[in-house]
Structure 1
Amino acid sequence: MKERIIRAFAGSMVLASVALAYWIHPYWIALAIFVGFNLLQSSFTRFCPLEKILDQAGVGQSKKK
């Protein structure tokens, strides 16, 4: 569940960055670079800031009755 959310968020950020760079200002491409770098480093270090945020929010944890 969390992996799907992380991938969807990262993909959305890249697409938004490209759209903003095209229509607003080219410096918005820096956001896509940041997201890409973060994805690359997380593949080596297994550390993803969004995953930590989702953990703190309780996403993906089963509810006990």
Structure 2
Amino acid sequence: MNIDRAVLAFAGFVVLLSVALAASVSSWWLLLTAFAGLNMLQASVTGFCPAAMIFRRLGLREGSAFS
């Protein structure tokens, strides 16, 4: 798995977790979905992604988006 796929998988996990928590605990958890969406949007514009930096330090190989 490369960094690009790990970032996408992590973003998908956060969104699904947020929706599940919103359905079972409180609708305030949808703010986590909004945060994930905003982070993906700013990463597409600036190229800066904290999750990509963490996955790089964990030793995942480079992808084409976050190199």
TM value normalised by structure 1:
0.87
| Aligned mates of 2:35, 2:13 — CA distance in 1 | 13
Deviation at 1:55, TM superposition (A): 1.3
Q: Give the letter aligned to residue 4 of structure 1.
A: R
Q: Give the structure with higher Rg (CA).
A: 1
Q: Mind listing any 5+ residue stretches in structure 2 that lack a counterpart?
A: 63-67
Deviation at 1:18, TM superposition (A): 0.6
Residue 18 of structure 2 aligns with which residue? 17
Supply the RMSD in Å over aligned alpha carbons: 1.1
Q: Give the letter aligned to residue 42 of structure 1.
A: A
* Greater displacement, 50-59 / 8-17: 50-59
Residue 28 of structure 1 aligns with which residue? 29
Q: Give the letter aligned to residue 31 of structure 2.
A: A
Moved over 4 A (4+): none
Give aligned-pair identity as a percent. Answer: 43
Residue correspondences, number = 61
| Aligned mates of 2:56, 2:13 — CA distance in 1 | 20
Residue 58 of structure 1 aligns with which residue? 59
Residue 43 of structure 2 aligns with which residue? 42
Deviation at 1:59, TM superposition (A): 1.4
Deviation at 1:7, TM superposition (A): 0.4
Q: Mind listing any 5+ residue stretches in structure 1 that lack a counterpart?
A: none
